[in-house]
Amino acid sequence: NLVGDAVAAVGLAAYRAFEQPLNTDGTPATKPPGVHLAALSSPSPQVRAAGCAGCHKGSGPGPERIGSGPGPERIAPAASVRAKLVELVKDDNPVVHNAAIDALDEVAPGDPEGFALAFASIFYELQVHACELCGKRRDQKGIAPAQRILSIPKTDQNRPADSFRHRAARALADIG
C-alpha cells in the first residue's frame, strides 16, 4: 500500500523494495502485478514513471515471454497493465507519458489504441517519441504522423522545434 503513497520518496522506496526479491533457492521472485498497478496509479509522477519502467523490465528479451513462458517471471503480464499504460499515455507529465509509451511498446508492441493516443497528443515530444518507436520496429503506422510533423510550415506559430523535426525525420527514415 505504500507504493501508492502521495509522497514520491515513500512510493519510490516501497516500489524499489520489490526490485530484487529472491526465493529461498536464490532465484528471482515474481513481482506481483498488483505492485505495478499500484505504482501506475500513484498520485506522484515519479512513481508512475518508475511503475511504467518497471512493468516491462525483465530477464529476457522480447514481448513474447510476457505473461507466459518458462523460467522466473519478473515482469507484469501484458493483460494486467495494458489498460493502465494506455491511460497514462494521456498523462500531462512528459516523464509519465514517455515512460508509458515505452512500456506499452514493450508490453504490447504496436498497440493501436496507445499509439493512436500518442500520435494525437498535444505534446510534440510524445508524438515524435511514438514515431521513433515505430521506426525501431519499421512499423508503417508511424509514417503519417511523422509526415504531418514535418509538413508544418515555418510560418505556423505551432510549428515544432527543429530538434523534434529532426527526430521525426530520422524516425521516418528508419521506417523506410
Give CA–CA dist 72/51, Å, rounded.
Answer: 19
Q: How confident is the model at residue 173 (pLDDT cuts 50, 70, 90)?
A: very high
Task: State yes or no: pLDDT of 158 exceeds 80.
Answer: yes
Q: Could you identify the residue written with the cell 524499489?
A: 16
Give CA–CA dist 40/45, Å, rounded.
Answer: 9
Give CA–CA dist 7/29, Å, rounded.
Answer: 27
* Contact of 10 with 2, CB cutoff 8 Å: yes
Give pLDDT, residue 2: 61
137 CB-near residues (< 8 Å, 6+ apart): 105, 109, 110
Q: What is the pLDDT of residues 46-86, one digit of tens each?
A: 888 888 888 876 433 333 333 444 444 445 567 778 888 99
- pTM of whole model > 0.85? no
Short-list 48, 136, 131, CA closest to 95: 48
